[in-house]
Structure 1
Amino acid sequence: MLRPSPFLPDSLRRPLVGGFFLLLAGLGLLLYRDYGLSWDEQLDRLNGIISVKYVALQMAPELARRQESFALIPEMSANEDVDHGVIFQMPLALLEKLVGADDPRDVYFMRHLATFFTVLVGVYGFYRLAARRFGSWRLGLLGAALLVLSPRLFAEAFYNYKDLVFLAFFTGAIYTLTRLLRRPSWRWALAHALATGAAIDVRTMGVLLLGFTIGFAGLEIGHRPAVRKPLLWALALYLPIVAVVVVAGWPYLWENPVEHFLAAFQSFSRYRADMTTQYWGQAISVRSLPWHYAPVWLVITTPVAYSVLFLVGCGTLLGALIKRPTRWLCTRTGRLDLLITAWFFAPLVAIIGLHSVIYDGWRHLYFIYPAFLLLTLRGAAGAWAVWRSAALPRFRRGLGAGLLVLLAGGMLHSAYRIARDHPYQNVYFSFLPGPVAERLFERDYWGLSGRRGLEWILAHDSSAHVSVGTDARAALVLHNNHLLLPPAQRARLVLTSASRARYFLTTYRWHPGSYPAAYGPEVYSIRVNEMKILSVFRRP
C-alpha cells in the first residue's frame, strides 16, 4: 500500500478521477469516426440481428413478420456464428433502430461509439478494483491510465465487439466477486451473477468466473469461518441466477440450453476453418500453433516498461510467498493476490495445455491484461516503497527510482505512439523495429487501413465509376470498409476481382511479401513506424 502523497492529497481525488474519465469520454466522441471497419463487424452485427428476429418470432410473431426487412434476415438455423454470444450485439441491433440509423456509415459509427463507452465503463471498473486492492485511489488511477495507454487496446476499444467488451465485462465480474467475498450479501450475489452471466454471453471463456467464484469462496470460508453461512447462501443464489442470465441473454440456447452451450464452448478449441497466420516469418496453421504463440504476442505488443514492472511485481509476490508460505493466504490481501495471479496465469496455461485455437495475436486473451496490469502496479508500488525508504541502501533506492522513471517514460512513449500512429494503433509493436515486425508477424489483420485506401483512390480518380480489387481471401476488407464511405462516394466504387480492377488494394494479410511488377506501380501506401500496412497499385 502506498503512503499518502504530498503531491496528490485526498482532496484531489474527485476532480482528478472525474477529470480523467471525462477526458476519456471526450476523446471517444472526438475519435470514434476515425477507424475503419474491422474484419468481423458485419458478421457480429448480423449475429445480433438474427437473434433479435428469433426473439421477435417467439414473442410477437405477427408483428415481426410485418417488418420490412424480415424476409432478408436469415433464420437462427442458418447462422454460422451461433457459438458467439449476443448479449452485447442484440442491444446494438435495437439501438440502431431506435436512433434511426439507416445508412451503414451511420450504423457502424454508432456501434463504434457504443463499444468505446462500454469499454470505458470497464476501465472504471478496473480503477475501482485496483484502488481496492492497493488501498489507494492514486494507484487505481495509475492502473486505469496504464490500461488506456496500451496502444493496441486503445484502438480496439472502438471496434472490437468481442475481446475488448469481454475484457470490460470480465473485469467488472472480478470486481463484483471481490465485493461478494468481502461482504457476502444477496445484493452482491445478484450483482456478481448478472456480471458473470453477461461475461459468459460475450465469450464462453467467462465460465472461468464460476471456478474463481466457487474456489475463492471456499478459500474465504476456510480462513473466515464467520462468513461461512452468508457466503453459502450467496452462492446458492448466485449459481441459478447465472444460469438464468446466460440462457436468457443468448437465444441460441433457448431450445436446448445444455447441449447448445457445450457445443459453443467446444468450438473454442475446435475452430471450424483451417486458417493460417504469420508468425516468426512463417505461415502457420491456427490449429498447429506452438505453445509460445500467445506469450510472445503479449510481450511484443505490450509497452516494455509495463512488462518490466510486471516481472518486478511477480518477483515481490513470489518473495512474499517464500517468506511466509503458511501465512500468505491468511490475509485478505494475500487471497486477492492469488485471485489476480490465477486470473492472469490460469487462462494462459489453459490455452497452451488444451491447444485451443487462437489467432490474430493474443486478442482472445485480452481479458487477462487487467490482471497483468495489477501485477505491474504491484511492481510500481514496490519500487515506490523502496525509493521512499530512508533505511535502505542508496543503490536500492536508486533502483526503485529508476523503475519509476522507466514506468513514467513508458507511459509517455505509449501516449506519443497512440497520437502519432492514429488511427492505426492496432499495429503497435513495443520494441520491434517496423521492418522487422513487417517481416515476422501479422500486420493489419483487422483490415482497418482499407478504408483510407479506398478514400485515397476516390479522391485521386475523378472517374464516374472506379473499380477496385484485392486478393480473393481478403475481399471482406473492401466490402466492409466501403460501407463507411459517404453514399455518393460509395456509389462510384465498383468492387470486382483483382484481374478486372483498375486499382489493386492490399493490407498484406496472407500475402506478406511484395507484389510483382505486373500489378502496376504502387501509387499509395500507409506506413506505421516504418512498417507498411497498406498498398494501392494502379493496374496496367
Structure 2
Amino acid sequence: MLRPTPLLPDSLRRPLVLGFFALLTLLGILLHRDYGLSWDEQLDRLNGIISVKYVALRLAPDLARRQESFAAIPDMSQNEDVDHGVIFQMPLVVLEKLVGAEDPRDVYFLRHLVTFFTVMAGLYGFYVLAAGRFRSWRLGLLGAALLLLSPRLFAEAFYNYKDLVFLAFFTFGIYTLTRLLRRPSAGGALLHALATGAALDVRTMGVLLLGLTAVFAGLEMWYRPAIRRRLLRALLLYVPAAATIVVAGWPYLWEHPIDHFLAAFQSFSRYRSDMLVQYWGRQLSVRHLPWHYAPVWLLITTPVAYTVLFLTGTGALLAAAARQPRVWLRTRTGRQDLLYAVWFFTPLGAIIVLHSVIYDGWRHLYFIYPAFLLLALRGVRSARLLQLEPRRIRRGLGTGLLVLLAGGMLTASYRIIRDHPYQNVYFSFLPGPVAERLFERDYWGLSGRRGLEWILAHDPGARVMVGTDPRAALMLHNNHLLLPPAERARLVLTTGAQARYFLTTYRWHPGSYPARYGPEVYCIRVNGVKILSVFRRP
C-alpha cells in the first residue's frame, strides 16, 4: 500500500527545526523583562549565594573573606532552604558577578533570561525524545510546539527556577535513559549519570530517574539478552557516577552526604508551613487537601484539545497492551510507551496515595507534563491509524481529532499573546467569574509589579506609601526590586493601615474588600479573572 506524501517533506526538517528554536531564542530576549518577581526568587538566589560562600570558604578561604558582602551572607548552618538543591542557582550567582549585574533589577532580568534558555534547552531534549519515539521529526516538532503553547508553563519558564528547570532536567534524563537502553555504553552511562545527578540537585524527586533506570534496564535485559552484559556494565558505572555528581553539585551534602540527603528528601513529606490554598471555593490547609487536588488542577489549566488527545493516546496504549501484552512488551515502542505511562501516572498516583503536600496548583508535578504530551502525540498518531469501518467514519474521526488539535493550539497561542505577561493565571475552559471564585489566582504575586508601577506613575509624591495584607508583604518587597532605582527610592513599603495605597493579589483574601479600604482605583483582569486591585485609602 502506498503511503501518503507527507505534508512537510524531509528537506524542510533542518530549516523548520532551526527556525523554531531561533524564534524561541528571540522570544526570550524580547519578553524576559516583562514578568514580575515571584515569591520564591529572592530566597532561591540567597540559597545559591550561601552555597557559593560555603564552597569559597573551602577552596579559597582568604579570598572569600576579603569580599565586601562576606559577613552579611549567612552560613550554611543558618540556611532554612538547605533541602533545595543548588546546581542551577550557584552558576547563576557566579554569572551575575561575571557580567557585573549589581542592581536587583538587572540581576533578576538576567536570571529570567537564563531560566528561559534553560527550559528551552529542555524543550529541545523533548523534541529529540518525541522524534525518536515516533520516528518522525514532524511529530517531534509538534510535541515541542505543544509544550511551548501551554500557557501556564510558557510564563513560568521565565521565573520558576524549581519546577520548570526540573522539568527540563528530568526530560533530558528520560532522553539519556532511552539512549542508554537502546545502545548501552560507558559514555551513555556517564551522560545519564550527569542528567540524573543534575535533576536530583534541583529536586529530590529526581530519585524517580534511578527507579525508572533500574526497572526498565531490567526489562531491556529480559527482552534483549544480547545486550545484558553491556547494559549491566553500564549500570555498574552509572550508579556511583550519579551519586558522585549529586554530592559534588550540592555543597550541603559534602558533609554527611547520606544523612543530609535523607533529611532533605524527608523534608518534603514534613512541610514546614500550614499554608492555606483556595480550592473549590474554600480555603483549605495544604496538609488536608482532597485526593483530586492535583488531577483537577491539571485538567483546568491544560488546553482541552491536549487533554482529549492524551485520553485518546492512553486508550490506544491500553488497547495495544491488553490485546497481546507479551508481544507488546517485546517491542521497543511498547517498552517506551510503558516508560512514558509510568513517568506520568506513578508520581501522580504517589501524590494521591501518600497524601503528599503540594500547593499552588500542580506545579510540583510539572515534570510529568512531557509524558502527558508524549501520550497525546500517541493520540495524534492513533488518529491516522484508526481501524474503524466504514472508512469514512475512520477518516472522519481522525480528521476531527486533528482539527481539534489545530484549534487547541491556535486558541492557546491567542491566549498566550492576549494575556501576556499573566499567562500564569490561564484556565482552559472555566469562565472567569467561576475560576475567580473557586480557585487560586495569581499565587506567584507577579501582578504586584504592575500595581506598583501604576501607583508611582499616577502619584507624583516624593514618598508614596504602599501596603498590603501582612502575609503578602514579601510579594510587595520582591516586586519593588524590579522598579527603576529612582522609582524604587520614592516607594515606601508599610503596613496596610498606614498606607496611602492598598495593593492586593487576593492570594489569602479571595473575597472582596470592605468600603473602609477606599475606592478601587486600578485593577487587572485576565480573561475575566481579577488578579490585582489597588485601593486608595481614605
TM-score by length of 1: 0.98
Query: 1:443-468 deviations in whole A, cap 9, x for unaligned?
Result: 00000000000000000000001000
Q: Is the 8 A contact 2:115 2:159 kept in 1?
A: yes
Matched, 1:477 2:475: yes
Counterpart amino acid of residue 452 in structure 1 = R
Distance 2:388 2:217 in 1: 40
Matched, 1:320 2:320: yes
Deviates more, 1:2-11 or 1:114-123: 2-11
- 3-state SS of paired residue (2:497): helix
- 3-state SS of paired residue (2:82): coil
Matched, 1:261 2:297: no
Q: How does 1:395-474 map to 2 (within 5 A)?
A: 395-474=393-472
Tell me the equivalent position of 1:15: 15
Picking from 504, 507, 513, the partner of 1:506 is 504
Query: 1:458-497 deviations in whole A, cap 9, x for unaligned?
Result: 0000000100000000001110000000000000000000
Distance 1:44 1:352 in 2: 28
Query: 1:164-196 deviations in whole A, cap 9, x for unaligned?
Result: 000000000000000000000001100000000
Residues 347 and 5 of structure 1, relative CA distance in 2, 3 Å threshold? farther
Distance 2:319 2:388 in 1: 21
Tell me the equivalent position of 1:198: 198
Q: Is the 8 A contact 1:166 1:203 kept in 2?
A: yes
Counterpart amino acid of residue 444 in structure 2 = W
Distance 1:4 1:414 in 2: 29
- 3-state SS of paired residue (1:212): helix
**Displacement of 1:4:** 6.7
Tell me the equivalent position of 1:207: 207
Counterpart amino acid of residue 320 in structure 1 = A
Tell me the equivalent position of 1:97: 97
- 3-state SS of paired residue (2:345): helix
Residues 194 and 188 of structure 1, relative CA distance in 2, 3 Å threshold? same
Q: Is the 8 A contact 1:384 1:404 kept in 2?
A: no
Tell me the equivalent position of 2:334: 334
- 3-state SS of paired residue (1:494): strand
Tell me the equivalent position of 1:216: 216
Counterpart amino acid of residue 370 in structure 2 = P
**Displacement of 1:424:** 0.1
Q: Is the 8 A contact 1:139 1:377 kept in 2?
A: yes
Matched, 1:158 2:176: no
Q: Is the 8 A contact 2:313 2:379 kept in 1?
A: yes
**Displacement of 1:352:** 1.2
Counterpart amino acid of residue 71 in structure 1 = A
Distance 2:264 2:92 in 1: 22
**Displacement of 1:3:** 6.0
**Displacement of 1:399:** 1.1
Query: 1:346-375 deviations in whole A, cap 9, x for unaligned?
Result: 101111111111000000000000000000
Distance 2:127 2:449 in 1: 34
Distance 1:333 1:391 in 2: 26
- 3-state SS of paired residue (2:385): helix
Q: Which runs of 5+ in 2 are unaligned?
A: none
- 3-state SS of paired residue (1:524): strand
Q: How does 1:272-291 map to 2 (within 5 A)?
A: 272-291=272-291
Q: Is the 8 A contact 2:432 2:528 kept in 1?
A: yes
Query: 1:292-333 deviations in whole A, cap 9, x for unaligned?
Result: 000000000000000000000011001101111221100001
Residues 13 and 298 of structure 1, relative CA distance in 2, 3 Å threshold? same
Instruction: Give percent identity, aligned residues only.
Output: 79
**Displacement of 1:391:** 7.3
RMSD: 1.1
**Displacement of 1:385:** 3.0
Counterpart amino acid of residue 397 in structure 2 = L
Distance 1:73 1:205 in 2: 28
Distance 1:364 1:111 in 2: 21
Tell me the equivalent position of 2:35: 35
**Displacement of 1:5:** 4.4
Q: How many residues align?
A: 537
Q: Is the 8 A contact 1:49 1:73 kept in 2?
A: yes
- 3-state SS of paired residue (1:126): helix
**Displacement of 1:432:** 0.3
Tell me the equivalent position of 2:70: 70
Distance 2:75 2:181 in 1: 43
TM-score by length of 2: 0.99
- 3-state SS of paired residue (1:430): coil
Q: Is the 8 A contact 2:388 2:394 kept in 1?
A: no
Tell me the equivalent position of 2:52: 52
**Displacement of 1:400:** 1.0
